[in-house]
Amino acid sequence: MAGGPARSTHQNWSSRLTFTLATIGLPLGGLFASVFAGWVMSRVSIAEELGLNPDGAALKVWRALVRWLAPALIAIMIAAGVSG
């Protein structure tokens, strides 16, 4: 028996941690970032960071995508990772 029980326990713990971080932790960080960028940051500071016109159409589209589409898709991704 090469490795013994201690090795298999470590591999199980390590694989569970990797799975949890990859399927929940990283997407959750992206969800928090998109919520912060879309709802907390001001329109002017976002426009400055992205180099966009604060009153332009590109910023309005970007904010709509970050506020609504990105969180919804990330939530679907988290749900799919947890369920499957």
- In tens, the pLDDT along 2-45 reads 555 555 666 788 888 888 888 999 999 999 999 999 999 999 99
Delimit the domains of the chain by residue range: 23-83
What is the chain's Cα-based Rg?
Answer: 20
d(CA 79, CA 57): 32
* Distance in angstroms (rounded) separating the CA atoms of residues 20 and 17: 5
Give the global pTM. Answer: 0.78
Q: State how far the Cα of 31 lies from the Cα of 49, in Å rounded to an integer.
A: 19
Position 62 scores a pLDDT of 98
